[in-house]
Structure 1
Amino acid sequence: MIKAIIFDFDGLIFDTETCELKSFEELYAKYGVTFPKEEWLKIIGTISTYDPYASLMAAVPHLNMNDLMAERESFFEKIVEGESVREGVKEYIERGKELGLKVAIASSSSRRWIEKYLGVIGLDISLFDVICTSDDVKNVKPDPELYEKVLSHFGIKPDEAIVFEDSANGSLAAIRANIPCVIVPNEVTKGLIFDERVVLRLNSKKDMELDRVIEFISSLK
C-alpha cells in the first residue's frame, strides 16, 4: 500500500534546471565562449566540484568571480520571471492529499532555495508534510540519504512510497533507497541516460493520473 509520494524539486516541481542552463549559456555567450553543456549535465541533481565559473575564467583570464556570479544570477532571475510549476504537479499533490498520502520534497538544494522558489511558483509550503534538503543530510544525491531520511520521518518502508525525479543522479538516489522511482525528465534532462531500474517514464504528469501511477507500481509487487 502506497502511503507517501516524494518529489524532487529542481527540474521536477519547478524547472530551474532549464533556467540555469539558459543563464549560463547567456553568460558564456556574453564573453564569446561556448558553454560546456555536457560537463554541466553531469552534475544535475547533485553537488560537484565542477565549477562553470572557473571554466569561464580559464577561457577569459581577466574576469572576476564575484562579478560573474552576479551577472549569471541577474540572467537567471530574468529568465524565471513568469515561470510556473511544471504541469501536473499541483494535480498530483492535490490528489495525493485526497487519497490521504503523505507528500514530501527531497532535494539536494538548500531549504532557503526551495522556499524561495516555491514562493515564485505559488506553491504553499504547507502542502508538504516534510521538506528534506541538503541542510539536513551529510550526503546528497545520488547518495540515498535524503530519501532514507524521508522514509524515517514518516516511519514507512521503501515500497510504501513513490519517488518522482527528473535527473539521473536523483533517480539513482531513489533506487539506492529501494523506493520505486518514476522519472519525468524536463527539456534539459530528457537526453540523459537513466538507470534501467526506473519503474516508469513520463513526459509529463499529465500523461498519467496519480491513481494510475499507483495502480501500475502496485501491480509490479
Structure 2
Amino acid sequence: MIKLAIFDLDGFLLQGSRFSDFLEKEYHVSKPEFLGILRGRVMPPKCDINTPSFPAWEPYLSVWGLHVNEQEFFDLWFKTEGTHEVMEHFELVKKVKSQVEKVAVMSDNFFERADWIKKTFPSMQLFDFMYFSCENGFTKATERSYKMVLEHFGVQPDETVFIDDDEDSAKLATSLGIHAIYFRNADQLKQELSQVGLSV
C-alpha cells in the first residue's frame, strides 16, 4: 500500500524556459560553463544548507557582461524563465493525495529560487512537505536525499511512489526500493500509477 507520493518540481509541476538558453543567446555564455557553476558550486550533490548562492555567481557576472546587483540578477533569471504551474499535474496530485497519507515535493534548487517558488506559487500549499536540496544539504543525485524524506514521514521505500522527469533520479530511487516512475507523458504516468494501486 502506498502511503507517500513524492513529486518532482521543475519539469513536472513547474515548467518554463531555461536561463542557460537566455544567457547563451543574449550574452554568449556557454551552457557547459553556466551548468558547471550551477551543478558544481551552487548545487553540488552535498551542498551547504540555507546558503545564498549569489557569491558563487558574482565573480562571473561582469565577465559575462551582466552589470547587475543581486536583486537584479535573480529578477532577470526568474522573469526570463517564465516559470508557470502545470495545472493538470497539480490536479493529478490532488487525486493521488486523496488515496495516500501524505504528498511531498523533492527539488534540487538553490536558496534564492526555493524562496521565490514558495512565495510565488500558492498551489505549493497542497503538499505536506517540500524538500529543497538547499535546505536539507543533499541533491537527488544522493541516496541520502530520498532517505531523509522517507525518515521525515516514517515510511518504507515500498510504501512510497516517486515521480520525476529525470531518468537518473528515477533509477536511483528505484535502486532504494522506491516505486519510481520516470515521467514521459500523462498516459504513461497514469498507467504506471495504476500499477501501484493509484487511480487518476
TM-score by length of 2: 0.69
Pairwise CA distance, 1:140: 2.0
CA contact (8 A) 2:146 2:173 kept: yes
Kept in 1: contact 2:19–2:81 (CA 8 A): no
Return the alpha-carbon distance in structure 1 between the equivalents of residues 71 and 115 of structure 2.
21
Provide the residue aligned with 1:76 in structure 2.
77
Instruction: State the superposition RMSD in angstroms.
Output: 3.7
Shift of 1:95: 0.2
CA–CA separation in structure 2 for the residues paired with 1:8 and 1:86: 12
Deviation, structure 1 residue 163: 0.8
Match of 2:170 in 1: 171
Displacement after TM superposition at 1:207 (Å):
2.4
Q: Residues 181 and 189 of structure 2 are in contact (CA less than 8 Å); yes or no, is this contact kept in structure 1?
A: no
CA distance in 2, matches of 1:7, 1:111: 19
Structure 1 counterpart of 2:12, one-letter code: L
C-alpha deviations, 1:170-206, integer Å up to 9, x for none? 334423433122123xxxxxxxxxxxxxxxxx23xx3
SS of the residue 1:78 aligns to: helix
Provide the residue aligned with 2:148 in structure 1: 149
For residues 34-45 of structure 1, the aligned pairs below 5 Å read 35-36=30-31, 40=35, 43=39
Task: Give the TM-score taking structure 1 as reference length.
Answer: 0.64
Equivalent position SS for 1:156: coil
In the alignment, structure 2 segments of 5+ residues that lack a partner are 46-55
Q: Which residue in the other structure is 1:161 paired with?
A: 160
| CA deviation after TM superposition for structure 1 residue 53, in Å | 7.6
SS of the residue 2:20 aligns to = helix
Aligned to 1:128: 127
Q: Which has the higher strand share?
A: 2
Distance 2:73 2:171 in 1: 29
> Partner residue of 2:117?
117
Are the counterparts in 1 of residues 43 and 134 from structure 2 also a CA contact under 8 Å?
A: no
Contact 2:43 2:108 in 1 (8 A): yes
Q: Structure 1 or 2: larger helix share?
A: 2
| Distance in 2 separating the partners of 1:56 and 1:173 | 35
Distance 1:69 1:176, change over 3 A: farther
Determine the C-alpha separation between the residues in 2 that align with 1:119 and 1:3. Answer: 28
State the identity %.
21
Relative distance call for 1:48 and 1:89 in structure 2 (3 A) is same
Structure number with the bigger relative contact order (C-alpha 8 A, sep ≥ 6) is 2
Note the C-alpha offset of 1:100: 3.4
Q: Using the alignment, how far apart are the partners of 1:55 and 1:176 within structure 2?
A: 38
Q: Is the 8 A contact 2:104 2:130 kept in 1?
A: yes
**Is contact 1:171-1:181 (8 Å) kept?**
yes
Q: Distance in 2 between the 1:129 and 1:103 partners?
A: 6
Q: Which moved more, 1:111-120 or 1:88-97?
A: 111-120
